[in-house]
């Protein structure tokens, strides 16, 4: 446990990704194999569910320390993290522990799932008796399922790859599925055998540069560029090889478990291929809002009901390998021709499809079409030089993303909540409102970013001095501060009192020059979308005559 606790606190103090990856690699090299596989499992985002309820933990801490329940609750609200609160309130009885991580899990955390309240309290008391002060925070993090130390699954794979001298994507492939520390080992994950799996590994993604510094008409002849819609989905590579099918996100994480219909549909495309494209929410009438896709994210083995209600589609726009041959050095025009030949015969309703190419004769015509992007539910254009090869990373000159400008509105902060992580002691999460036609402020967005550290501290002081009500962890605040909020779009929503939901809201600036009465109205926010576009319940788009807008 000593090594794991030291790892935990080191990761908490580090801010650079490379440092964290190197520190993880050092841990896996030094730790006992039984501890390593449990650490790997927890870092991969897994947790032991049902060990103990939050309310019980607070009650146990109150009983152990003799502090009233309200002090424990107030401390939790002030600190913002229950694991950290418990570690500060409960006093350790020993300076260190001889327990290993695997022993802690097997002897204390796992058995709690099947205990009654009295047994669970006694078990936690015993753990508090044998753990040292440096072990308290990681123990409580594991117990509450809040073990997130700024280490993504991709970075975990990079660290393991350093230890095993493998490709990170190879490790990621080994970490897919419902494996447990009881069914696998670190040695099995890092075993270089079974190299045929490497054929299903993704290529490094080619990323586009923003076109902000270059006007589209400065790129030369429009005929030299392949122009596509910039889809509002999840970038991914679909790979089929040796009877295996894998779906990889840009973060080198396997996401096929969340989208089994795409995996099954891959049986109808040729073997030994790698498609680059986008996972989209896609109904019988075409593209749906990204919010529909969010309902599928993170689900392992989704059931038939959610799959029927929230169908998806893999929209392919590049072909990186065909019949086992790497095509990345071929020009885009040739890759596109082979992609069309590969997918052109698939039916329109199939979960795998071909992304369309826009044929316009001038940049002026494209600019006019670009202005329709938001109404069509896309983010703008992708501009790709037709003679470009498929490169790695963000290389300026060949691929550009021509996105629509964000929308803006002035809003009033009406409530706030303590943040998370390093902001857990600051009110940094804000609910923002605009005026409705009855002269009331209605919430239309929640924002967590956009202010400087200095501004965050100033707003935090204001919140603490102007609290009007308490609603669990949320604090009502006197409506005096105005912020300019940027967002990507407006969705009509029956789930919100205001009737709208904003896409990617973030604070652009603090409007110290404006009073609450100067904030925008709900009608203004609604009108930021085209008045000719309506949203049906299933997310399809129609014009003012009710005709479907299709791509």
Q: Tell me what percent of the chain is helix, strand and coil, each rounded to the nearest 5.
A: 40, 25, 40
Q: Which long-range contacts (CB under 8 A, 24 or more apart) does 492-501 make?
A: 492/534, 492/535, 496/443, 496/444, 497/442, 497/443, 498/434, 498/436, 498/442, 498/443, 498/444, 498/522, 499/526, 500/444, 500/525, 500/526, 501/291, 501/444
| Cβ-proximal residues to 113 (8 Å cutoff; 6+ apart), any chain | 48, 49, 50, 51
Q: Looking at 153, 158, 230, 403, which residue is catalytic?
A: 230
Indicate the SS3 state at residue 445.
strand
Q: Identify whether the C-beta of residue 444 lies closer than 8 Å to the C-beta of residue 500.
A: yes
Quote the tokens at residue 265.
């549909």
First-to-last C-alpha distance (Å) of the chain: 56
Task: Give, for 431, the enclosing helix (H) or strand (E).
Answer: strand 427-435
DSSP string computed for 253-273 = -B-GGG-HHHHHHGGGS-SSE
Quote the tokens at residue 364.
């002026």
Nearest to 482 by CA among 515, 506, 524: 515
CA 296 to chain centre: 12
Handedness of CA 327, 240, 204, 358 (dihedral sign): positive
DSSP string computed for 173-191 = HHT-SS--TTT--HHHHT-
230 is catalytic: yes
Measured CA to CA in angstroms, residue 335 lies from 318, 330, 400 at distances of: 7, 7, 18
Task: Compute and round to an integer the Cα radius of gyration of the chain.
Answer: 26
What is the rounded CA–CA span in Å between residue 161 and residue 183? 20
**∠528-212-489 over CA atoms, to 5°?**
20
Measured CA to CA in angstroms, residue 263 lies from 349, 399, 434 at distances of: 15, 28, 44
What is the rounded CA–CA span in Å between residue 109 and residue 51? 6
Measured CA to CA in angstroms, residue 202 lies from 90, 171, 179, 236, 493 at distances of: 47, 12, 21, 9, 37
What is the rounded CA–CA span in Å between residue 95 and residue 135? 10
Q: For the chain, how many residues are written?
A: 551
Which sequence positions are flagged as catalytic? 230
């Amino acid at each position: 446990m000593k090594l794991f606790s030291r790892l935990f606190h080191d990761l908490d103090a580090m801010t650079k990704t490379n440092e964290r990856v190197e520190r993880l690699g050092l841990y896996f090299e030094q730790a006992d194999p039984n501890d390593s596989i449990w650490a790997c499992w927890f870092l991969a985002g897994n947790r032991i569910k049902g060990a103990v309820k939050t309310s019980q933990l607070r009650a146990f801490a109150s009983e152990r320390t003799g502090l009233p329940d309200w002090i424990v609750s107030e401390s939790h609200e002030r600190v913002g993290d229950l694991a950290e609160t418990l570690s500060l309130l409960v006093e350790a009885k020993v300076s260190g522990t001889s327990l290993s991580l695997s022993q802690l899990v097997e002897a204390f955390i796992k058995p709690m799932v099947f205990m009654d309240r009295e047994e669970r309290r006694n078990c936690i008391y015993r753990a508090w008796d044998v753990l040292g002060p440096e072990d308290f925070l990681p123990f409580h993090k594991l117990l509450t399922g809040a073990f997130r130390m700024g280490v993504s699954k991709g970075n975990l794979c990079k660290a393991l790859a350093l230890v095993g001298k493998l490709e990170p994507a190879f490790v990621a492939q080994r970490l897919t599925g419902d494996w447990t520390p009881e069914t696998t080992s670190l040695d099995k994950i890092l075993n270089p055998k079974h190299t045929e799996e490497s054929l299903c590994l993704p290529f490094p993604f080619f990323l586009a540069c923003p076109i902000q510094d270059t006007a589209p008409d400065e790129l030369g002849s429009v005929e030299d560029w392949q122009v596509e819609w910039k889809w509002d989905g999840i970038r991914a590579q679909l790979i089929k090889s040796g009877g295996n099918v894998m779906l990889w996100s840009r973060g080198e994480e396997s996401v096929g478990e969340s989208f089994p219909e795409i995996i099954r549909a891959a049986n109808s495309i040729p073997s030994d291929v790698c498609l680059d494209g986008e996972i989209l929410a896609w109904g019988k009438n075409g593209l749906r809002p990204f919010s529909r896709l969010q309902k599928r994210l993170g689900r392992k083995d989704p059931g038939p009901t959610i799959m029927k209600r929230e169908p998806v589609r893999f929209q392919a726009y590049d072909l990186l390998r065909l019949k086992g041959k790497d095509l990345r050095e071929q020009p885009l025009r040739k890759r596109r021709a082979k992609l069309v030949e590969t997918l052109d015969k698939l039916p329109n309703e199939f979960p795998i499809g071909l992304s369309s190419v826009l044929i316009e004769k001038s940049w002026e015509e494209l600019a006019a079409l670009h202005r329709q992007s938001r109404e069509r539910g896309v983010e703008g254009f992708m501009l790709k030089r037709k003679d470009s090869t498929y490169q790695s990373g963000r290389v300026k000159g060949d691929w550009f993303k021509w996105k629509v400008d964000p929308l803006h509105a002035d809003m009033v902060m009406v409530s706030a909540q303590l943040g998370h992580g390093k902001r857990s002691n600051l009110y940094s999460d804000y609910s923002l409102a605009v005026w409705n036609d009855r002269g009331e402020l209605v919430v239309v967005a929640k924002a967590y970013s956009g202010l400087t550290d200095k501004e965050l501290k100033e707003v935090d002081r204001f919140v603490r001095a102007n609290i009007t009500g308490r609603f669990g962890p949320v604090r009502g605040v006197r409506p005096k501060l105005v912020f300019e909020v940027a967002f990507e779009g407006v969705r009509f929503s029956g789930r919100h009192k205001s009737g709208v939901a904003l896409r990617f809201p973030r604070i652009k600036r603090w409007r110290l020059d404006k009073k609450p009465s100067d904030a925008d109205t709900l009608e203004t926010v609604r009108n930021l979308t085209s008045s000719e576009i309506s949203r049906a319940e299933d997310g399809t788009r129609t014009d003012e005559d009710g005709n479907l807008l299709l791509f």
